């Protein structure tokens, strides 16, 4: 209790609480998800893991949540509140089937070259398909393959993970889930169990 007649004093914030508030301010002001190194560059050194865990717990029951996507952190609307924003949120540009198939192949096989994508799809990539995915920031150039012609490789981005609500590529659905959702053709009755699928032959390892 205060002894100067002005009522009880507010408790002083601990060092950990102060650091968590700084981390919160950095993430709130960020225009895009931030990696831990980026957060430290602004918030300074501290127990970042504890600060992020505290903020995640604090925001868990609220209308916005703190989430990690591909090792980067950002605030997003709580899933159960997303419908509230549908009337005011600009509808994203829809991807056509060719773009979705191309994106799926890159996600499961990245880094993938144009030739690899075309080999898996069985058709040439339509003009502008990769440009559309690049403009939407769902894929990114991922260096050149050390092979004849040094073809450009493509990989997914943190925006891809955020768009589909994935923490990492390990959360991509497996082949059985894709077939159940109607996104892959079911295997014919006489097909061997190890027959390759259209989009991927195995779950991603990164």
Q: What is the CATH number of the domain that holds 169?
A: 1.10.10.10
**Which residues, 6 or more positions from 104, have their beta carbon under 8 angstroms from its beta carbon?**
183, 199, 200
For residue 193, being part of any structural domain is answered with: no
Residues 134-181: pLDDT tens digits? 988 899 999 998 888 899 999 999 888 888 888 888 888 776 666 565
Which helix (H) or strand (E) segment is 171 a member of? none
Q: Please check whether residue 133 lies inside any domain of the structure.
A: yes
Q: Comparing 118 with 31, which gets the higher pLDDT?
A: 118
Residue 191 has pLDDT above 60, yes or no: no
* 47 and 122 both lie in a single domain: no
Name the token pair of 50: 């504890």
- State residue 23's pLDDT score: 95
Instruction: For residue 176, tell me if it sits in a domain.
Output: yes
The total of structural domains in the chain comes to: 2
Same domain? For 101 and 175 the reply is yes
State whether 26 and 47 are in the same domain. Answer: yes
Pair (152, 121) in one structural domain:
yes
pTM for this entry:
0.51
Q: Which of 85, 120, 136 is the last residue of a domain?
A: 85
C-alpha dist (Å) from residue 41 to 19, 21, 45, 46, 60: 13, 15, 8, 11, 25
Which among 85, 111, 142 is the end of a domain? 85
pLDDT score, position 3: 44
pLDDT surpasses 70 at 26? yes
Q: What percent of the chain has pLDDT over 90?
A: 33
Please give the average per-residue pLDDT across 112-121, as a whole number.
Answer: 90
Domain presence at residue 197: no
The tens digit of pLDDT for each residue in 83-106 reads: 776 554 444 567 788 888 898 889
- In this predicted structure, the answer to whether residue 184 has a pLDDT above a threshold of 80 is no
Question: Is there a contact between 174 and 199 (Cβ–Cβ < 8 Å)?
Answer: no
Residue ranges making up the domain that contains 41: 15-85
Q: Is the pLDDT of residue 49 over 90?
A: yes
Q: Identify whether residues 45 and 114 lie together within a single domain.
A: no
In a domain, 49, yes or no: yes
The overall average pLDDT reported for the chain is: 78
């Amino acid at each position: 209790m205060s002894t100067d007649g002005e009522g009880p004093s507010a408790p002083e914030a601990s060092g950990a609480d102060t650091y968590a508030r700084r981390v919160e301010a950095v993430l709130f002001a960020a225009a895009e998800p931030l990696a831990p190194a980026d957060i430290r560059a602004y918030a300074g050194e501290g127990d970042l893991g504890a600060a992020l865990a505290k903020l995640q717990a604090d925001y868990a029951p609220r209308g916005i949540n703190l989430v990690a996507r591909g090792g980067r952190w950002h605030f997003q609307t709580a899933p159960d509140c997303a419908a509230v924003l549908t009337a005011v949120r600009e509808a994203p540009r829809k991807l056509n089937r060719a773009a979705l198939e191309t994106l799926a192949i890159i996600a499961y096989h990245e880094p993938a070259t144009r030739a690899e994508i075309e080999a898996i799809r069985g058709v040439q990539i339509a003009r502008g398909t990769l440009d559309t995915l690049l403009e939407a920031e769902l894929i990114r150039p991922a260096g050149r393959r050390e092979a004849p012609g040094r073809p450009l490789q493509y990989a997914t981005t943190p925006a891809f993970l955020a768009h589909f609500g994935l923490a990492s590529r390990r959360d991509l659905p497996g082949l059985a889930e894709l077939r159940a959702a109607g996104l892959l053709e079911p295997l014919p009755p006489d097909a061997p169990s190890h027959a390759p699928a259209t989009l991927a032959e195995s779950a991603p390892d990164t």
